[in-house]
Amino acid sequence: MAETLRVAMIGYRFMGKAHSNAWRQAPHFFPLKAGVEMHTICGRDADAVEAARAQLGWQNACTDWRDVINSPDIDIVDITTPNDSHAEIAIAAAQAGKHVLCEKPLAMNVKQGERMVDAAKKAQIVNMICHNYRRIPAIAQAKKMIEEGALGRIYHYRARYAQDWPSDPKFPLVWRLQKGVSGSGAHGDINAHIIDLGRYLVGELYEVSGLLDTFVKERPIMDAGGKGQGLAAKSAQRTGRVTVDDASLFIGRFKNGALANLEATRFALGRKNHIELEINGSQGSLYFDFEDMNRLQFFDNTNPADRQGFRNILVTKGGIHPYFGSWWPEGHIIGYEHTFIHTVADFVNACVSGKSVQPTFEDGLMNQRVLEAVEKSARTRKWVKV
Ligand code: SOE
């Protein structure tokens, strides 16, 4: 093993947990070109971050990310904090010569995203945005099939990302519901994912027409020590105005002529983390449902007319299907956490080779440009070019 890459992760809640699992597991299941040392986990609450350190397997804990950014003992900075700190941390890490993995969305807006891309380019560091769903084997398989022409010319990309965690009006005003911390609501949080998948699978968007809405406009404010800032927080007494969207929809046209139809909502009761994609082309169609994430449905119009239909491809064949060779025998399925392990494995190997690994900060910035074009369209009720 040539070298060991020492990691500092900033943040320790939901994404911190998912990324910690990935840093721990990737070296055990993937042929990495370097070792990984889970050196330091960083968070503002000393007790909470120390508990996270012990639980998640980090060597050290610290309460100020600035202490680790310039440390000569750190090679990689992994940003899993809320959106409003991504730019400051990533730019400082890049300027310190660290490779950076940053959770999505890249930033609060395009301007911040441009500064992050510039800093990464100037520092010539390996930079990646954690759009983990690209590394679902079924999604990577879909990409391969589309590139091989299995669908022919693409006519439609239809995607929906639906959750329901804040649909109770008594759910408190957590950071994902505050524009000053999250930048936007369902739009930047989950529409960002299906925008990224559309750009990955179909191509760049040319113009969009959007609609954003907020269903619950006032929510209880958490008491200061409110635990569970994430998707399962408890309510409190005072109330505050919700400053982000609960749902965001848009239609659009890709540069290659395909049509886009995307919907992201946090008010689809019963949908907990439901991503659904359908891509229709001149030779066939693909359908994917994240609640059945090991399966890809494929309609092949070249089949003889008497036996056509959507067939289920179980994407679990090692050596044939992406990433699966590192896991189990065929049919033994994998889950949400594996998509982060795949992301980290590819990132580590890119850090060793010094090669770019998609999705980069540029991808994150392109996603940000689409997000902002949709928001502008919703404001002006006009079509907007990306
Ligand atoms: C909340 O919507 C969230 O945690 C997103 O922020 C993540 O990106 C997604 O993977 C799961 O849901």
- The confidence score (pLDDT) of residue 282 equals 98
Whether 246 is in the pocket of ligand 1, judged by its Cβ within 6 Å, is no
- Ligand 1 midpoint to CA 35 (Å): 28
Q: Is the predicted pLDDT of residue 137 greater than 60, yes or no?
A: yes
- Mean residue pLDDT across the chain: 96
- Ligand 1 midpoint to CA 153 (Å): 31
Q: Is the predicted pLDDT of residue 236 greater than 90, yes or no?
A: no
**Across 338-346, average pLDDT:** 98
104 Cα nearest atom in ligand 1: 8
CATH superfamily of 137-292+294-334+366-385: Dihydrodipicolinate Reductase; domain 2 (3.30.360.10)
- Ligand 1 midpoint to CA 77 (Å): 20
- Ligand 1 mutation pick, 21, 190, 367, max ligand atoms within 8 A of CB: 190
Whether 263 is in the pocket of ligand 1, judged by its Cβ within 6 Å, is no
pLDDT band at 222 (very low <50, low <70, confident <90, very high): confident
Q: Is the predicted pLDDT of residue 237 greater than 80, yes or no?
A: no
Q: Is the predicted pLDDT of residue 115 greater than 70, yes or no?
A: yes
Residues of the chain above pLDDT 70, percent: 96
Name the token pair of 301.
Answer: 């119009």
Q: Is the predicted pLDDT of residue 61 greater than 60, yes or no?
A: yes
pLDDT band at 226 (very low <50, low <70, confident <90, very high): very low
- Ligand 1 mutation pick, 14, 130, 367, max ligand atoms within 8 A of CB: 14
**Across 57-61, average pLDDT:** 98
192 Cα nearest atom in ligand 1: 8
- Ligand 1 midpoint to CA 155 (Å): 28
163 Cα nearest atom in ligand 1: 2
Whether 14 is in the pocket of ligand 1, judged by its Cβ within 6 Å, is yes
**Across 223-228, average pLDDT:** 53
| CATH number of 4-133, picked from 3.40.50.720, 2.40.170.20, 3.40.50.1000, 3.40.50.300 | 3.40.50.720
- Which pLDDT tens digit goes with each residue over 183-194? 999 999 999 999
Whether 363 is in the pocket of ligand 1, judged by its Cβ within 6 Å, is no
- Ligand 1 midpoint to CA 14 (Å): 9
Predicted structure pTM score: 0.96
pLDDT band at 227 (very low <50, low <70, confident <90, very high): very low
Whether 117 is in the pocket of ligand 1, judged by its Cβ within 6 Å, is no
Distance in angstroms (rounded) separating the CA atoms of residues 311 and 289: 14
**Across 331-357, average pLDDT:** 97
pLDDT band at 384 (very low <50, low <70, confident <90, very high): very high
- Which pLDDT tens digit goes with each residue over 6-48? 999 999 999 999 999 999 999 999 999 999 999 999 999 999 9
List the domain boundaries for the chain. Answer: 4-133, 137-292+294-334+366-385
Dmax over CA atoms of the chain, in Å, equals 67
pLDDT band at 302 (very low <50, low <70, confident <90, very high): very high
**Across 198-212, average pLDDT:** 98
Whether 229 is in the pocket of ligand 1, judged by its Cβ within 6 Å, is no
- The confidence score (pLDDT) of residue 228 equals 45
Q: Is the predicted pLDDT of residue 80 greater than 50, yes or no?
A: yes
- The confidence score (pLDDT) of residue 224 equals 59
